[in-house]
Structure 1
Amino acid sequence: MTTFVDRVELHVAAGNGGHGCASVHREKFKPLGGPDGGNGGRGGDVILVVDQSVTTLLEYHHSPHRKATNGKPGEGGNRSGKDGQDLVLNVPDGTVVLDKAGNVLADLVGHGTTYIAAQGGRGGLGNAALSSARRKAPGFALLGEPGDLQDIVLELKTVADVALVGYPSAGKSSLISVLSAAKPKIADYPFTTLVPNLGVVTAGSTVYTIADVPGLIPGASQGRGLGLEFLRHVERCSVLVHVLDTATLESDRDPVSDLDVIEEELKQYGGLDDRPRIVVLNKIDIPDGQDLADMIRPDLEERGYQVFEVSAVARTGLKELSFALAGIVAEARAAKPKEEATRIVIRPKAVDDAGFTVAYDEAEEVYRVRGEKPERWVRQTDFNNDEAVGYLADRLNRLGVEDALMKAGARAGDGVAIGSEENAVVFDWEPTMMAGAEMLGRRGEDHRLEAPRPAAQRRRDRDAERDEAQREFDEFNPF
C-alpha cells in the first residue's frame, strides 16, 4: 500500500461570492423608506500552509478535489451575508507549487509559509451600497463573483542539509541510522529505500539534517529506476555525500566506477555542480573492504575529494565524518544572504494606462474589450434587470470604453465582446447606450423619493398648472 507520495495534481475551487440584495425598507406610514439591501459575503480562499508535522502528499493523492465554501447572499435590513470559510490545506516543508505547464508558482519552505492557491470571489453590493444622491433607489444589486478554479501540481522536494547518494545497498540507510535517530528500513537487497528518510544530527554546536534517499542506477536522470523521483530530493541540499560500497558482491562494479556513474547522472540532471562533495568508503569492517579502500583512496584524493573511511556496523569513523559535514553545512549557511526586512513595494500604474484594452478580433468579427474592471463588472451584472444593465453601461462609459471603441473604428451595430474568448459577453454596440430605467428619468433615479418641494414652490406650480389648463379650455371653448 502506498504510504509516501511526493507529487500530486490538485484541483482546487475557491468559494463564490454571495449576491447582493435589492430591498426597500418598509414600515407603517413609511412605505418607501429607502433601499436597505445588504452586501453578499466573500467566497472562501484555498490556502496552502507549510506544516512540519506533514511529511507526505498522500492525503491529496486520494482526494485531489478540494473546494472552499461560498459566501452567503445579503438580506434586507442592511444585513450583509456571511463570508465563506477559507479552506486551509497543510503541505510538507519544501513543497513546490506548479501550474499545468510546469511553471513554478510558489516555493513553500519554512513552517507557516502560506500561498493562496485559489482566490475567493467578491461579494456583490446590495442596493443600499449602490445608492447615491443621483441614484436614490436602485432597483438592482450586484451579483457575487465566481471563485477561482485552478489545476495545480504539488511537488515535494526534501529540505535537508546533507544528501547521501549512491548505488542501491551501498549502506546509506545504515549510515543515517547510526548518525541520527532515524530508523529506516535496512536489508541486503537493492531498493530497500523507496522513500526519502530524514534524520537530525548534532555535531558540537551545529545541528543539521541528513537525508537518505532512494539509490541511483545508470539512466536515473532519464527516469530509469526511481530516477527523477530520487533526484528531485537532492536539489535543496548543501552538500552531497557519495556513499561507496567497498564490499560489493557484483563482479562488474567497483567503487570508482560507481562514483563516475553517479556523477554522470547528477550532471545530466543539472543544477548540482556547485554543491561540495564528500566521499564515504563504507563497509571497511569487512577485510576485503578495508583493502579496497586503501587501494582507491589515493586516486579519489587526487581528484580533489575529501575521503572518509567508515563502518556503519562497527561504528568507526563516524565522529570525524559528522563533524566534517557540520563544518561544511555551517559554511553554507553563513554564505547564504541574510533575509532582509519586509519592504513595501509600490508599483504605480503608467500615466497612459486606461485599465483596459480594445482590439478588433478578425476571427470573431467583434471588438474585444479586455481588462480587470470591465470583466469584473460584467460578471457582477444581472442582465435580466434593465436598470442593472444601464448601471453597467454608465460604468463602462465613465471608464472610457465607449470613447476607446469609437477611436478603434467601431460603429453602431458592431459586435462588442467583453472578456476572453471562452467566457465573454457579446452585444451589439450602440453609442451612448441608454438601457434601463428611462421611465424613472435619469438612470437609477426614482422621483418618488425626492425631497418634498417648499410650500411656496408647490403653490406656484399648482397655479401654473391651473392657468395652463384654463388656456387650453378657452382655446377649445370659444363660447
Structure 2
Amino acid sequence: MTTFVDRVELHVAAGNGGHGCASVHREKFKPLGGPDGGNGGRGGDVLLVVDQDVTTLLDYHHSPHRKATNGRPGEGGNRSGKDGTDLVLPVPDGTVVLDGEGNVLADLVGQGTSFVAGQGGRGGLGNAALSSARRKAPGFALLGTPGQARDVVLELKTVADVALVGYPSAGKSSLISVLSAARPKIADYPFTTLVPNLGVVTAGATVYTVADVPGLIPGASQGKGLGLEFLRHVERCSVLVHVLDSAALESERDPLSDLDVIEEELRAYGAGLADRPRVVVLNKIDVPDGRDLAAMVRPELEARGLRVFEVSAVSREGLRELSFALADIVARTRAERPVEQPTRVVIRPKAVDDAGFTVTQDGDMFRVRGEKPERWVRQTDFSNDEAVGYLAERLNRLGVEDELVKAGARAGDGVAIGPEDDAVVFDWEPSMSAGAELLGRRGEDPRMEPPRPAAIRRRDRQAAHDEYAEADAYDEGEY
C-alpha cells in the first residue's frame, strides 16, 4: 500500500461567481420603487499553503479533484450574495507547483507560504449597481464569471541541509538514526528505505537537517531502481555525503567503484549537483575487514580532494567528528548565501496605446481577444435584449467597433469574441451602438424625440459617462 507520495497531478476548480439580481422594489402605494437587485458573491479561491505537519502528497493522490465553493447570487432588497469559501490545501514544505507543460508556477518553501492555484470568479453586478440617471431601472443584471479550473503537478523536493547518498544497505538509515532522533526502518536487505527520512542534528550552536535518500544503483538517473523517484530530494541540500560500505560482501564492489557509480548518476541527473560540497563517510568500521578496507582506500579518496571520515553506526565511533564537520560546512554555506532582499512590487502601467484587446482576421471571421471583452461576454445574459444592448454599448465604448472597421470588417461578417474553443460568435452590424442605445433606455425611442438643445446634449453625454463609472471600477478590481 502506498504510504509516501511525492508527485501528483491535481485538478483544481475555483468557485464560480454568483449572478447579480434584477429586482424592482415594491411596497404599498409605491409599486415601482426603483431597482434593488444585489450583487453576486465572489467565488472561492483554491490555495496551496505550506504546512509543516504535512510530509507527503498522499491525500491528493487518493483525491486529486478539488473544488472551492461558488458565490451565492444576489437578492432583492439590495442584498448581496455571500462570497464562496476559499479552499485551503495544505502541502509539505518544499513543494514545487508546475503546469501541464512542466513550467514552474511556484516553489513553496517556508511555513505559511501560499500560492493561488485557482482564482475564484467575480460576482455579477445587480441592477441596483447598474442604474444611473440615464438608465434609471435596468431590467437586467450581470452574470457571475466562472472560476479558474486547471491541472497542476505537485512535486515534493525535501528541504534539508545534508543529503546521505549511496548504495542500498550502505548504512545511511543507521547513520541518520544515531546522528538524530529519526527512527527509519533498518534491515540488511536492499531498498529497505522506500521513502526519504529527515532527521534534525544539533552540533554546538548549529542545528541542521539530514535527509536519508533511498539507495541508488547504476542507471538510477534513467529510472532504474528507486533512484529516479527520489533524486529530486537532494536538489535543495547544501552538502552531499557519500556513505560507502567498507564491509561489502559482494566481490565486484568496493568503496571506490561505489563512489564513481554514484557520482556518475548525480552528474547524469544534473540539477546543479556537481558544484555541491562533498564529504565521504566510510561506514561499518566496527567490522574488522571494514576497518582494514577503509584504511586502504582513504589515501586514494583524500588524493581526490575529498574529506573522509571513518565511522561506525553501531559503536558510534567517529560520529561526533562527522556531525561537527557537517555543521561547519552548513554554517559556511548559510553565511555565503546572498541576503534575501525584500520583495519589490514592480508596477508597469499600460502603454498609452494599449487598448486592452486585439482584433485579428481568422479566415472569413474576425476574432476579438482581450481580458475585458471576454469577461463582459461571459457576464451577459443573451436571453435579455437589454443586457445584449448593454454589452454592445460597452464594446463600442472600448473601441472594438472602430478596430473592426480598421481591420476591414463589413456588415454581416462573423465576429468571434474569445478563444477558438469557447467563443461567442455573432454577425456584426456597424450600427451596433445605435442598437445599444435603443435597447439600453427602457420605454424610450430616441428616433421619436425632437432635436434637443446643445446644453441638454452635453448633460446626456455626462450622464452616459457616469452610467458606466461603477461598472468600469468593477472591471478594474475596485468592486
Please give the TM-score of this superposition, normalised by the length of structure 1: 0.91
* Matched-pair contact (CA < 8 Å) for 1:388–1:436: no
Structure 1 equivalent of residue 441 of structure 2: 444
Residue-by-residue CA offset, 1:104-143 (whole Å, 9 max, x unaligned): 1110000000000000100000000011111111110000
Deviation at 1:331, TM superposition (A): 1.0
Matched, 1:149 2:149: yes
* Matched-pair contact (CA < 8 Å) for 2:17–2:123: yes
Residue-by-residue CA offset, 1:345-385 (whole Å, 9 max, x unaligned): 211111211100000012xx210000000000000000000
Structure 2 equivalent of residue 20 of structure 1: 20
Which structure 2 residues correspond to residues 404-415 of structure 1 after superposition, within 5 A? 404-415=403-414
Structure 2 equivalent of residue 359 of structure 1: 360
Query: Within 1, Cα distance between the matches of 2:421 and 2:356?
Result: 21
Q: For residue 301 of structure 1, what is the amino acid of its counterpart?
A: E
Query: Within 1, Cα distance between the matches of 2:296 and 2:220?
Result: 28
Structure 1 equivalent of residue 289 of structure 2: 288
Matched, 1:75 2:75: yes
* Matched-pair contact (CA < 8 Å) for 1:359–1:368: yes
Matched, 1:206 2:206: yes
Query: Within 2, Cα distance between the matches of 1:246 and 1:15?
Result: 58
Query: Within 1, Cα distance between the matches of 2:92 and 2:26?
Result: 55
Query: Within 2, Cα distance between the matches of 1:384 and 1:172?
Result: 69
* Matched-pair contact (CA < 8 Å) for 1:139–1:444: no
* Matched-pair contact (CA < 8 Å) for 2:39–2:74: yes
Structure 1 equivalent of residue 300 of structure 2: 299
Deviation at 1:93, TM superposition (A): 0.3
Which structure 2 residues correspond to residues 381-400 of structure 1 after superposition, within 5 A? 381-400=380-399
Structure 1 equivalent of residue 310 of structure 2: 309
Query: Within 1, Cα distance between the matches of 2:109 and 2:155?
Result: 12
Query: Within 2, Cα distance between the matches of 1:332 and 1:445?
Result: 72
What is the SS of the residue equivalent to 1:181? coil
Distance 1:337 1:446, change over 3 A: farther
Residue-by-residue CA offset, 1:207-257 (whole Å, 9 max, x unaligned): 000000100000000011012212010000000000000000001100000
Query: Within 2, Cα distance between the matches of 1:435 and 1:183?
Result: 77
Structure 2 equivalent of residue 11 of structure 1: 11
* Matched-pair contact (CA < 8 Å) for 1:416–1:428: yes
Deviation at 1:341, TM superposition (A): 2.1
What is the SS of the residue equivalent to 1:70? coil
Structure 2 equivalent of residue 185 of structure 1: 185
Query: Within 2, Cα distance between the matches of 1:387 and 1:436?
Result: 10
Residue-by-residue CA offset, 1:64-86 (whole Å, 9 max, x unaligned): 11110000000000000000001
Q: For residue 401 of structure 1, what is the amino acid of its counterpart?
A: V
What is the SS of the residue equivalent to 2:90? strand
* Matched-pair contact (CA < 8 Å) for 1:414–1:428: yes
Distance 1:295 1:437, change over 3 A: closer
Matched, 1:333 2:334: yes
Deviation at 1:432, TM superposition (A): 2.8
Structure 2 equivalent of residue 476 of structure 1: none
What is the SS of the residue equivalent to 2:361? strand
What is the SS of the residue equivalent to 2:125? coil
Structure 2 equivalent of residue 477 of structure 1: none
What is the SS of the residue equivalent to 1:138? coil
Please give the TM-score of this superposition, normalised by the length of structure 2: 0.91
Structure 2 equivalent of residue 88 of structure 1: 88
Q: For residue 335 of structure 2, what is the amino acid of its counterpart?
A: A
Residue-by-residue CA offset, 1:141-169 (whole Å, 9 max, x unaligned): 00000111111111101000000000000
* Matched-pair contact (CA < 8 Å) for 1:356–1:369: yes
Matched, 1:107 2:104: no
Structure 2 equivalent of residue 454 of structure 1: none
Structure 2 equivalent of residue 138 of structure 1: 138
Residue-by-residue CA offset, 1:270-320 (whole Å, 9 max, x unaligned): 021111000000001111111111111011001000000000001000011
What is the SS of the residue equivalent to 1:422? helix
The structure with the larger Rg is: 1
Query: Within 1, Cα distance between the matches of 2:433 and 2:384?
Result: 13
Structure 1 residue runs of 4+, over 6 Å off? 435-438
* Matched-pair contact (CA < 8 Å) for 2:392–2:436: no
Distance 1:437 1:341, change over 3 A: closer
> Structure 1: where are the runs of 5+ without partners?
449-479
What is the SS of the residue equivalent to 1:293? helix
What is the SS of the residue equivalent to 2:122? coil
Q: For residue 383 of structure 1, what is the amino acid of its counterpart?
A: F
Q: For residue 279 of structure 1, what is the amino acid of its counterpart?
A: V
* Matched-pair contact (CA < 8 Å) for 1:387–1:436: no
Task: Tell me how many residue pairs correspond in the alignment.
Answer: 444
- Once the two structures are overlaid, the 10-residue window that deviates more, 194-203 or 99-108, is 99-108
Deviation at 1:446, TM superposition (A): 4.9
* Matched-pair contact (CA < 8 Å) for 1:137–1:446: no
Structure 2 equivalent of residue 279 of structure 1: 280
* Matched-pair contact (CA < 8 Å) for 2:4–2:195: yes
Matched, 1:378 2:391: no
Matched, 1:48 2:45: no
Matched, 1:234 2:231: no
Query: Within 1, Cα distance between the matches of 2:424 and 2:51?
Result: 43
Query: Within 2, Cα distance between the matches of 1:205 and 1:332?
Result: 15
Structure 1 equivalent of residue 124 of structure 2: 124
* Matched-pair contact (CA < 8 Å) for 1:71–1:123: yes
* Matched-pair contact (CA < 8 Å) for 1:386–1:436: no
Deviation at 1:434, TM superposition (A): 5.0
Residue-by-residue CA offset, 1:424-458 (whole Å, 9 max, x unaligned): 000000013158676xx57234569xxxxxxxxxx
Deviation at 1:342, TM superposition (A): 3.1
> Structure 2: where are the runs of 5+ without partners?
446-479
* Matched-pair contact (CA < 8 Å) for 1:16–1:144: yes
* Matched-pair contact (CA < 8 Å) for 1:283–1:312: yes
Query: Within 1, Cα distance between the matches of 2:205 and 2:410?
Result: 77
Identity %: 84
Distance 1:420 1:197, change over 3 A: same
What is the SS of the residue equivalent to 2:317? coil
Query: Within 1, Cα distance between the matches of 2:443 and 2:276?
Result: 74
Structure 2 equivalent of residue 421 of structure 1: 420
Query: Within 1, Cα distance between the matches of 2:352 and 2:340?
Result: 34
Structure 2 equivalent of residue 245 of structure 1: 245
* Matched-pair contact (CA < 8 Å) for 2:173–2:184: yes
Query: Within 2, Cα distance between the matches of 1:344 and 1:57?
Result: 32
Distance 1:54 1:442, change over 3 A: closer
Query: Within 2, Cα distance between the matches of 1:187 and 1:26?
Result: 80
Q: For residue 221 of structure 2, what is the amino acid of its counterpart?
A: S
Structure 2 equivalent of residue 323 of structure 1: 324
Deviation at 1:343, TM superposition (A): 2.4
Structure 2 equivalent of residue 344 of structure 1: 345
